[in-house]
Structure 1
Amino acid sequence: MTNVSPLSRPQYLGGLAIAVGGAVLFSTKAVVAKLLYRYHIDAVTLIAFRMIFSLPVFAAVALWKMRTEAPLSPADRWRLVGLGLIGYYLSSFLDFLGLQYISVGLERLILFLTPTFVLIISTLFLKQHISRKQWLALALSYAGIVLVFLHDLKGGGPDIGLGSLLVLGSASSYALYLLFSGEMVKRLGSLRLVAYAMCVSSVACIAQFFVLRPAGLLIQPMPVYWLSLANGIFCTVLPVFMTMTAVQRIGAGTASQAGMIGPVSTLFLGALILGEPVTDWQLGGTALVLAGIYLLSKK
């Protein structure tokens, strides 16, 4: 876990609540994507619309920070470009590509390797101590995820290996983003770092669309625009700022573990919005994940 200043219990619980809220909002992108795919748009177009609606907010915050903060050093500028490319550009693109070959359940399960990558990289390369209680919280949450998504592992198409590797790449790139941003956020602040990095990600996603797709695909039915607006603001802008604020307060490792509640919340959103069933196994898995989050809160 990234080293942070000692916090009081209310401050720690506040940071944990921000991380959980951001994870829940961010996870709703799966439900929104399901609704958008009903209009026969592909992953490249979906991501482009997502960033077209979120870019104005990130750009406004970036311009505000440019006028009120000291200029960035050349080294920090390159680091921010790297963060923007490996974070919400590469991880999102690989995630949506993988979803073309595997089920949403398997995709969620693979994405839960992210906290493992964060903890392992922290231990091996940053020489940071991982407490026994954190490992126990991680084990409880993983046990819950296995129960929740076990039935989704059955079957699968001929390209399930390719899809799994793509989503695995998404999880690993997002883990690197969390760790590297956790080191930089101390110097730059969460708002500034997120705004700059997300401007880079947004430009990359939009440029990718114009390289790979005809501009005519920007003409879509009105529901696509409304869903993309929700995807850009509620599933991107808000959770991105909330997650980075949580990283600043409680560290990358704890923030990424708290994010485990997000995909579980997708089960209930899926039942409410998409009519997907929620089974007893899924409820049991949810209880284990919540137990892991509670253990983090008792840290």
Structure 2
Amino acid sequence: AASALRNHPFLIRTASEARKLHGIGGSISSKIVEIVKTGTHRRVPMNSKQEKVISDFCGIYGVGRTIAAQLWDAGARSLGDLDADPIRFNLDKNQQLGLRYYQDLQERIPRDEVTVIHQLVLESARKIDPKLQVLAMGSHRRGQHSSSDIDFIVTRDTSDGIDHTGMIKKLWHALEARGIAHHNLTEMNDCMLHALCSLPVEGAKMRRVDFLGVPFDELPPALIYFTGNRYFNRSMRLKARHLGYRLNQRGLYKDICLDRNGAAITEGTRVECRTEKDIFDKLSVPWR
């Protein structure tokens, strides 16, 4: 319902207009009309304190709305309550780290800081292996002035028969030695590592960093996928589907067999694409 409202080109003013949208029935449409007419809803004031506290809890790494509601039910009424007795509220290691660095992780990361961290990671990567590549993705690659977190693709040119296996672990230990890498939030493997890192200077803020291991032959589609944003990715996948292809972060596939709901029954054959532009060209999307 929220997505349908967000993407609707015109302001909804009546219940009948609301009910025409996918996923909206009588109950939701009446709430929409009340909000349109009054600017609020009768249930909002009643729950505002609880909702604000739950929203604050959702800002902790590893805490979603369900866990946040459970923390409220357990008697927590502030971040201070959780900080005072994390064991009582059954916070795991990652959630305790998220609480400790709550303010840092709530802040947007300036573009200049992402650039410096990227350069430091690149320096360490090149010392490990000159063919190791680390690419900054997400909002940074889209040219945004700030980022909510930092995504790095880690890959290696396989022309000499060696791939990126084991490289994320080596890179992590090198960054630890330089005072950049501090806490790994997931198990270390060749696919992905969620972590907390910072600039190696006194008083530097802790930042969320994801290291994404990508096979070299899957780099072009991965660049598209991890650059985003999600609306662009959704549009690209839809365009591919209309042309009889399937696109994901691993490749562009042809000869796909779909069921009546549009889900792929067979994997299909991966189309050779050496660059992002190759994929854009196959889908007749202008490259810029």
Please give the range of the TM-score, normalised by the shorter of the 2 chains: under 0.3
Structure whose CA Rg is larger: 2
The answer to which structure has the higher strand fraction is 2
Question: Which has the larger helix fraction?
Answer: 1
**TM-score, structure 1 normalization:** 0.27
Q: Tell me: higher relative CO, structure 1 or 2? Use CA pairs within 8 A at least 6 residues apart.
A: 1
